[in-house]
């Protein structure tokens, strides 16, 4: 195994899962002498289309920040979300007093940090699905599209789903990291406060690692995409799994893949 490329090692780690998997990753900055220039990126089926699950919340946040930058929304403004249907799944908005008014910044934080589906649906309606898809197209995410609200099982059953690819998510994360999109710094800070998939920092990455990320889960599916950094460098990644018979095993494989990137790229 020591002579295998990083891509081959990751592929061998994911292969026993079965189902479908994809990885896109990129190391930033000059690589250490021990790392060949050809080894600073990973592409395993990065153009293959997958259900986006909660990764679809990232383009919604991007569109909200874009519109706030244009002055169309004030992130400090409080909104009454009492009429928004409570859809369940991840999040806490459903258990708060219905009279609680939250700012747009707080709703966005709920959407990203605890993957709140009710908050996400409210923001999606506020900014408009068509506008989100227009922004997705404008930043050249060719395999990403929103087609339904969160927890809309009827839409999924009829074939309407939110979709993306590992390559598209890597591009989007890269734009956020590079401040190429409005609100990039705020989005990075919010993603760094992530409270889902905590085993990545508690079980796989070492002390001193910094992770700003977003996960996504559905039946038989688990994803994660983000920015990982340490004293030795910075990398961004997207790992997608679908059609998984053993979701805990898929979660573990994502953690192992992230640790493999950390070690191979000398990020510590």
Q: Tell me the per-residue pLDDT of 149-183, one tens digit each, with 9 for 90 and over.
A: 998 989 999 999 999 999 999 999 999 999 999 99
In a domain, 20, yes or no: yes
The pLDDT confidence band at residue 86, using thresholds 50, 70 and 90, is confident
CA angle (100, 102, 107) in 5-degree steps: 125
In a domain, 200, yes or no: yes
Paired tokens of 158: 């009829």
Beta-carbon count within 10 A of 84 CB: 18
In a domain, 166, yes or no: yes
SS3 225: strand
Mean pLDDT of 14-21: 97
Q: Tell me the per-residue pLDDT of 54-76, one tens digit each, with 9 for 90 and over.
A: 999 999 999 999 999 999 999 99
In a domain, 155, yes or no: yes
The pLDDT confidence band at residue 39, using thresholds 50, 70 and 90, is confident
Count structural domains, the chain.
Answer: 1
Beta-carbon count within 10 A of 86 CB: 16
How many whole angstroms separate alpha carbon 119 and alpha carbon 141?
Answer: 24
In a domain, 181, yes or no: yes
Across 1-5, 109-113, 142-146, least confident range: 1-5
Contact 146, 129 (CB under 8 A): yes
Nearest residue to 36 via CA among 61, 7, 63: 7
- Per the DSSP assignment, residues forming a β-bridge with 27 are 235
Contact 223, 55 (CB under 8 A): yes
Nearest residue to 28 via CA among 164, 173, 143: 173
Mean pLDDT of 11-23: 97
Give the CATH number, domain containing residue 72.
3.40.710.10
Nearest residue to 181 via CA among 235, 121, 227, 138: 138
Q: Tell me the per-residue pLDDT of 213-224, one tens digit each, with 9 for 90 and over.
A: 999 999 999 999
In a domain, 132, yes or no: yes
How many whole angstroms separate alpha carbon 246 and alpha carbon 196?
Answer: 19
Q: Residue 36 above 80 pLDDT?
A: no
Provide the domain limits for residue 206: 6-264
In a domain, 1, yes or no: no
Across 90-104, 153-167, 195-209, least confident range: 90-104
Q: Residue 201 above 50 pLDDT?
A: yes
């Amino acid at each position: 195994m020591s002579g295998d490329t990083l891509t081959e090692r990751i592929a061998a780690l994911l292969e026993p899962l079965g189902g479908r998997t994809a990885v896109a990753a990129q190391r930033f900055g000059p690589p250490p002498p021990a790392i060949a220039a050809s080894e600073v990126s990973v592409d395993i089926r990065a153009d293959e289309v997958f259900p986006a699950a909660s990764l679809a919340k990232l383009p919604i946040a991007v569109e909200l920040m874009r519109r706030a930058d244009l002055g169309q929304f004030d992130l400090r403004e409080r909104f009454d979300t009492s009429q928004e249907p409570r859809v369940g799944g991840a999040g806490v908005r459903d258990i708060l007093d219905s009279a609680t008014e939250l700012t747009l910044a707080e709703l966005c934080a709920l959407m990203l940090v605890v993957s709140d589906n009710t908050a996400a649906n409210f923001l999606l309606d506020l900014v408009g699905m068509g506008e989100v898809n227009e922004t997705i197209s404008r930043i050249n995410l060719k395999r990403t599209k929103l087609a339904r609200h969160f927890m809309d099982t009827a839409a999924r059953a009829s074939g309407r789903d939110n979709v993306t690819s590992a390559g598209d998510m890597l591009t989007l994360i890269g734009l956020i990291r590079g401040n190429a999109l409005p609100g990039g710094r705020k989005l990075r800070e919010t993603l760094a406060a992530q409270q889902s998939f905590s085993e990545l920092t508690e079980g796989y990455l070492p002390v001193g690692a910094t992770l700003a990320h977003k996960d996504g889960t559905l039946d038989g599916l688990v994803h994660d995409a983000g920015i990982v950094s340490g004293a030795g460098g910075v990398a961004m990644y997207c790992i997608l799994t679908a059609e998984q018979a053993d979701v805990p095993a898929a979660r573990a494989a994502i953690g192992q893949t992230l640790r493999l990137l950390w070690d191979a790229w000398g990020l510590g």
